A and B are shown apart, each in its own frame.
Chain A
Amino acid sequence: MERVVECRDVGRTYDDDAVPVHALRNVDFDLAAGEWVSLAGPSGSGKSTLLHVIGGLDQPTAGSVVVDGVEVTALATAQLSDLRLNKIGFVFQAYNLIPVLSALENVEFILQLQGLDRAERRSRSRDALHSLGLADVEHRRPGEMSGGQQQRVAIARAIVTEPVLLLADEPSANLDTSTTRELLEVLQTLNRERGVTILTATHDPMVMGYTSRQVNLRDGKVVRDDS
């Protein structure tokens, strides 16, 4: 099966403090198209760091990271921005919507960054929101929506560009059980019906229960991969 992510011997060491901190050590990790994988592990295990390295938000200090055939470690800042804009969708723990824009505008925003024309932007943004059951709130601003609705808008924003990879960092951290379940159902539908490749970093067993594969990290190393 086609590989969307290939990590080889990836290391990430932080030298900020007097003692170097090895967040990732010799990590080998592959992600195939259409998979939904959860990176699990306790706090400080390196799951979020691996997610960020794959997403081009952090640079590894060793090894190679290839996303959709592109060597991420070789890219300049602007090229990384383009990679994130065109190939990767992000869902953050704290939703991170733009507070001065409505739900529709938040979703449309990323298509504006891509330079799409207004008609196509509107159409695709509406489709994304409607597919996530957000037709009624498209003109509401983030402050006027519930946490679950905001997270679904964030998912709509992440998938509207039809990325090759959807990265979700602790997507359920701020949600209650019932909203988390709703969110996971949405992600499952995207994964099964649209074939969206998803990588989540989580320590929530409920999230892990929905994923097709679980990779456990501890002290920056992969300790279990049930592929």
Chain B
Amino acid sequence: MPVKLLIQLSWRNIWRHRRRNAILVSAIAVAVTGVMLLNTMMRGMQQDLRNTAIENLTGHVKILEPGYLHDPGIERGFDILEGWQNTLPDHVAGWASRIRVPGVIMSERGTRGIQLVGIDPARESISFLGQAEVAGDRLSGPEDSRILIGGLLAEALDTAAGRRLVLVTQGADGRTREAGFRIAGVYRAEIAGLEKAFVFTGLAALQRLLGTDKITEISIRLDDEDRETSTIAALAETFESRAVASWRQLEPQAAAMVEVSDVTIYILFVIVMGALTFGLVNTLVTAVMERLRELGMLRAIGMRPRAVVAQVVVESTVIMAIGVAAGLILAWCVFSFVADGIDLTAFDDSLASFGMRPTFVPVFDIRDVALIAVLSLALSILASFYPARRAVKIKPLEALRR
């Protein structure tokens, strides 16, 4: 039986019971809208978690000395290879080498444990520091021996740009190093925890203080996230004796949350659309029972059983397709109102504990549209199985006698 004829017949049959089918299509549309909007939220949350993890000095990929993650310190530094950056793939957006050591910072008002990070400021466009607001001066270069501290740390130590603070850390020789630093500026970060944790100074200045010319990490940011694995493989060849780790390994909690939300999206979809499938089955069974005589006549004049099955399947698919299309359009319309972001500053503290920013930006992912379309199609075929079986079991003669 020609597909065009099947679609034409199914389309007209749907209009035959327009009220009933309109209710069903509306239910599918509302469900798809809900699922799609929830997906945009989940995708937004995933992106936020991923970006936060990556911008939190991690990058997509990081090169470290093996064991540094479990026991960070200057003794796990390494020499940077001459011309290593020439081996970087084209899709690398930027890189930054740093030295990072634990330390203690002191003012007249208080003492705090911090991470002291030596940086080349020109290379930090790949981390949050590149976009952070700074009250006072930014660091001028790797030789700059002033420090940048976070706003919350400044408040805790009751200090400000231009004042001096004392830093204590361990040098490369294992002895304690203590030095006074002038505050060049006070930075603000979207994630509150960063402001409390990181104190930045020039890379060369910190190396001098620690008595070393080594670094502890190279952070790499990619243009194309999908090429993360191949980049890691390429870097592993260049840095044979180093650990080359992805952000997922370095930020396992964020990576796990991203994965969990992926699974949640599927589960949510199956639950909502699965429930609707029963509604579709009910409607199709009713439609088949109402048309027993007509289906019997079609069989009598020569329509093959498989064409009867195809008719029910196409009808189910057309109803689902209309509902899904309407739902996706509606979801897009609602999404366009909040596409620029939702202000969640009222929940800032709670969000910060999850590593999320106070402005939440939902993401309308075309892959979710494809996922919903494909799974809906599968469900509509599944839903039509039982009614189609009922339809094909109709004996033409019995149906005509009704």
Contacts and interface: CB of A to CB of B under 8 A. Distances in A.
A186 interface: no
Contact of A82 (B5, B13, B302): B302
A84 B1 contact: no
Contacts of B305: 77-78, 81
Contacts of B299: 81
A93 B301 CA distance: 14
Contacts of B15: 100
Nearest to A86: B302
Contacts of A58: 397
- Chain B contact residues: over half helix, strand or loop, or mixed? helix
Given A52-B397, A112-B2, A99 B16 contact: yes
A137 B284 CA distance: 32
Given A81-B302, A85-B302, A92 B397 contact: no
Nearest to B402: A94
B294 interface: yes
B1 to A, nearest CB: 6
Nearest to B302: A85
Interface string B284-316: 000000000110011111111111000000000
A81 B298 CA distance: 10
A100 B303 contact: no
B400 interface: yes
Interface size class of B (residues with CB under 8 A): 20 to 34
B214 to A, nearest CB: 79
Contact of B300 (A78, A90, A99, A109): A90
A57 B300 contact: yes
Given A92-B297, A112-B2, A115-B2, A100 B302 contact: no
Interface residues of A, number: 26
A57 B397 contact: yes
B314 to A, nearest CB: 14
B9 interface: yes
A101 interface: yes
A166 B15 CA distance: 33
Contacts of A21: none
**8 smallest A-B Cβ distances: which pairs?**
A85-B302, A100-B12, A96-B297, A84-B302, A81-B304, A57-B397, A112-B5, A81-B302
25 contacts: A57-B400, A58-B397, A81-B303, A81-B304, A81-B305, A82-B304, A83-B302, A84-B300, A84-B302, A85-B303, A90-B301, A92-B297, A94-B293, A94-B400, A98-B9, A98-B294, A99-B16, A100-B9, A100-B15, A101-B12, A112-B1, A112-B5, A113-B302, A113-B303, A115-B2
Given A81-B304, A98-B294, 14 more contacts: A81-B302, A82-B304, A84-B300, A85-B301, A90-B301, A96-B293, A96-B294, A96-B297, A98-B297, A99-B16, A99-B294, A112-B2, A113-B1, A113-B302
Interface of A: 52, 55, 57-58, 77-78, 81-86, 90, 92, 94, 96, 98-101, 109-110, 112-113, 115, 157
